[in-house]
Structure 1
Amino acid sequence: MPPAEPVRTVVDCSGVGAGGITRVLTELVRYWPAGDPLRIVAAPGGWTPPDDRRAEVTVVSTQDGGRVGTIASATEALRRATGRGAEGSRVLSLSPSLAIRGSRLPVTTMVHDLAFKLWPHDLPAAVKQYRRLSYGTAIGRSEQLICVSHRTRHDLLGIYHVPYERTAVWHPGSDLSVEAGALPAALSTIRYQGGRYLVVAGHAPHKGVELAIEALTELSSYHLVVLTGGQPAEEFRQVAAASPAAQRVVFLDRLGDAEYAATVAGAAAFLMPSHFEGYGLPAAEALRLGTPTVISPDPALLEATGGAAVRMTSWTGDAMVRALREVESGRLPAATAELGGRSWQEATGHLVALLDAAAAHPAPAQ
């Protein structure tokens, strides 16, 4: 009997922007099984496959021409990649996108959150309209919807009435692929002077950085380091400038992986007071690095941290202060066997298994 042809996976990235989903793309490519060639459609600008990948990877197209141009070119690229001769292939879309209308094969779409419905504050009308269309397309066209948390799966049921038999839950990995490097210069200075710092994720308005800045006025022994990912939210700069603790707030630009690991590992605590999350990967990464972590009452963050983080009792600066006092006292939740979640290798294997199961037992798209 001749050997079975390898499964080819076409990965649609046309809905992927800078940030956490690009990280998902990189780690999945790194650990994808060698016998399953990957074809990447609409790769984010500047993205390259990691050198230590195992699978054969072909970048079919990249994002260009803005959203309209990206969707148009990705739609055509998917049509070509899934046409004649594509038997044995499958399509994985890493985020809801209109481009999957071009696929001639069944599609599995990854859904990270429904923030545009549940936290729509300050979203431009054009963005909300696009997401309504792209999510509607993903729900109607996808054979399977993979949710990064039980919270997102529940939201799909409650808002779009997607039954659980069409969805599955997949948690990302949380290990970093590099060792901690040197601290950024600003943080080295703080440490040299005997200071301590807190880290908060702050690249989007829903991250709740204003609560951490408010708490900082009662936490005189700390600096607050805001990770902007190169996309600082202007409102946070304004809140910081008006704070009595303004001199103790440090905004950092995009960090390399080694700098990021060093920054989080060196913090007195990692803060994630988000108003809304679909999962909360930075909190899981911080726990894996051994950094005490404080989270908001958001249910996805509780899921991502497995009960190992200190949870705020409300979305207030006072609740943040109380949570940090718990950290200082050492009254931390008991460590679990999977502190910080699972590895990316384990997560990738699980995702491949979900795709295989969907192919073996196809369900009609609705």
Structure 2
Amino acid sequence: MRNPLSVALNATILRAPRTGIGQYVASLASALAAQQLVQPQLFTGLGWQQSVPEAAMPGYSQLSRLVKSVVPKAYQVRRAVEQRLFTQGVERLQPALYHEPSLWPFEFEGPMLMTLHDLTHVHYPQTQPADRLAEIARCVEPALDRARVILTDSQFVADELQRHYGVARERLKVAPLGYAQRFHPRPLADLGRVTAPLGVTPGSYLLCVGTLEPRKNLALALRAYALLPEAVRRRYPLLIAGMAGWRRDDFAAELQAALASGQVRLLGYLDDERLAELLAGARMLLFPSLYEGFGLPVLEAMASGVPVLLSPSSALPEVAGKAGTYVEAGDPEGWCRAILRLIEDQAEWQARRVAGLEQAQGFSWKRCAGITAAAYRQALEH
């Protein structure tokens, strides 16, 4: 067997608690290494390693906020230090190419490939902090020009890149995401360990998963839930799992009112296994997001045997296919009716469950890694 291709992969995001892009980096790196055609060299921001870190850096989020509050131009300072460490590692390891999984690639003299997950900064700039938008405006177009190949999670985003940035089709490669093996159907009787401390019953709660920010449209889920009959809300509490994000104050009043009712519970960020167990016990996943480049929780819910209620926006229909129950993102009454149907109509619930399990079989990290490895070869041949 030939020696695995050495690839520098920016894994600095793995210092933080893992959400979408963090899960992507960790899962892709593991799948690439398992296929033994690629050896990812992971740059963690502090050094280099070949194995994926098991968990985020303890206290990283608090430390990051503290540094930003006391160090002028903290991002630029950190970036300069990381660039130096990155360059030193590249000189030592001599990777064949560099894969940037986000919008800000480091300086690198060899072939560079990047993944662009979505164009949130284009369509919903109001959901991004001003300093982040400024950095995106400075970096993203030069990065797209530098990249020999650009990976996307969906055809939807690939088409957007062609329209908005004029990227040639031959430089784009769609590599749909996968789901971890921890997402699978589980007997409800086995889930009491995770549900009992929350005061809920397996199979008798609704779940929202995602960072608390305006783009995720949590306010719609809250409005739709509030329209349900009181008896239904008592039987099916709404659990919300996710980190606090940008502009959470935009819907803070609605969220606080819902929490005060006792029928809506805010769980914060959950570790991987706890989230997988909680998802498997949900009656359904509510995913009213306004815009997604993929929508990983949708795939994870389907793989867990949980029906998904979602908006027919952006890349979401590519992921859920015919298994999803779609209602427009601005229609709380429609969402309320759809929720009730998936609660009251057991045949419909079962049909959506089976369809979701079938739909999920078309996605895997092994497939994503195979497409990505082919993109590496394309970049080297350019």
Segments of structure 1 that go 5 or more residues without pairing to the other structure are: 53-62
Q: 2:214 aligns with which of 187, 191, 205?
A: 205
Asked if the contact 1:93/1:107 (under 8 Å) is kept, the reply is yes
Give the match for residue 20 of structure 1. Answer: 20
Q: 2:355 aligns with which of 324, 327, 335?
A: 335
Asked if the contact 1:199/1:269 (under 8 Å) is kept, the reply is yes
Distance 1:84 1:225 in 2: 48
Q: Deviation of residue 76 (structure 1)?
A: 2.7
Q: Provide Cα deviations, 1:235-271, integer angstroms capped at 9, x if missing partner.
A: 4442122349732110002212121011111111001
1:177–1:344 distance in 2 versus 1, CA, 3 Å: farther
1:149 and 2:158 correspond: no
Q: 2:239 aligns with which of 222, 225, 229?
A: 225
Distance 1:310 1:137 in 2: 39
Asked if the contact 2:150/2:172 (under 8 Å) is kept, the reply is yes
1:127–1:224 distance in 2 versus 1, CA, 3 Å: same
Q: Deviation of residue 84 (structure 1)?
A: 7.9
| Greater relative contact order, per chain length (Cα 8 Å cut-off, separation 6+) | 2
Q: 1:36 aligns with which of 38, 47, 59?
A: 38
Letter in 2 for 1:335: A
1:359 and 2:380 correspond: yes
Q: 2:194 aligns with which of 180, 183, 187?
A: 183
Alignment of 1:224-243 (within 5 A): 224-229=238-243, 231=245, 233-243=248-258
Give the match for residue 75 of structure 1. Answer: 83
Distance 2:250 2:150 in 1: 34
Asked if the contact 2:239/2:266 (under 8 Å) is kept, the reply is yes
Q: Deviation of residue 299 (structure 1)?
A: 2.9
1:44–1:152 distance in 2 versus 1, CA, 3 Å: farther
Letter in 1 for 2:194: L
1:228–1:284 distance in 2 versus 1, CA, 3 Å: same
1:341–1:284 distance in 2 versus 1, CA, 3 Å: farther
Q: Deviation of residue 48 (structure 1)?
A: 9.8
Segments of structure 2 that go 5 or more residues without pairing to the other structure are: 55-62, 68-73
Letter in 2 for 1:13: A
1:85–1:240 distance in 2 versus 1, CA, 3 Å: closer
Asked if the contact 1:295/1:309 (under 8 Å) is kept, the reply is yes
Asked if the contact 2:294/2:319 (under 8 Å) is kept, the reply is yes
Asked if the contact 2:206/2:283 (under 8 Å) is kept, the reply is yes
Asked if the contact 1:173/1:347 (under 8 Å) is kept, the reply is yes
Q: Secondary structure at the match of 2:355?
A: coil
Q: Deviation of residue 139 (structure 1)?
A: 0.7
Asked if the contact 2:9/2:98 (under 8 Å) is kept, the reply is yes
1:299 and 2:314 correspond: yes
Q: Deviation of residue 305 (structure 1)?
A: 1.5
Q: Secondary structure at the match of 1:27?
A: helix
1:43–1:22 distance in 2 versus 1, CA, 3 Å: farther
Q: Deviation of residue 118 (structure 1)?
A: 0.5
Give the match for residue 262 of structure 1. Answer: 277
CA-atom RMSD in angstroms: 3.1
Higher helix share: 2
1:272 and 2:283 correspond: no
Letter in 2 for 1:197: Y
Q: Secondary structure at the match of 1:37?
A: strand
1:9 and 2:7 correspond: yes
Letter in 2 for 1:339: A
Give the match for residue 309 of structure 1. Answer: 324
Q: Deviation of residue 349 (structure 1)?
A: 2.3
Asked if the contact 1:14/1:74 (under 8 Å) is kept, the reply is no
TM-score, structure 2 as length reference:
0.79
Asked if the contact 1:265/1:291 (under 8 Å) is kept, the reply is yes
Distance 1:168 1:350 in 2: 8
1:202–1:177 distance in 2 versus 1, CA, 3 Å: closer
Give the match for residue 319 of structure 1. Answer: 334
Distance 2:86 2:6 in 1: 13
1:289 and 2:319 correspond: no
Give the match for residue 344 of structure 1. Answer: 365
Letter in 2 for 1:163: A
For these two proteins, the number of residue pairs brought into alignment is 342
Distance 2:227 2:275 in 1: 26
Q: Secondary structure at the match of 1:306?
A: helix
Asked if the contact 2:42/2:52 (under 8 Å) is kept, the reply is no
Q: Deviation of residue 288 (structure 1)?
A: 0.4
Distance 2:251 2:205 in 1: 18
Q: Provide Cα deviations, 1:136-174, integer angstroms capped at 9, x if missing partner.
A: 122121111101111111111121111211111111112
Distance 2:273 2:92 in 1: 44
Distance 2:296 2:215 in 1: 15
Q: Secondary structure at the match of 2:151?
A: strand
Which deviates further from its counterpart, 317-326 or 127-136?
A: 317-326
Asked if the contact 1:200/1:224 (under 8 Å) is kept, the reply is yes
Asked if the contact 1:15/1:94 (under 8 Å) is kept, the reply is no
1:76–1:294 distance in 2 versus 1, CA, 3 Å: same
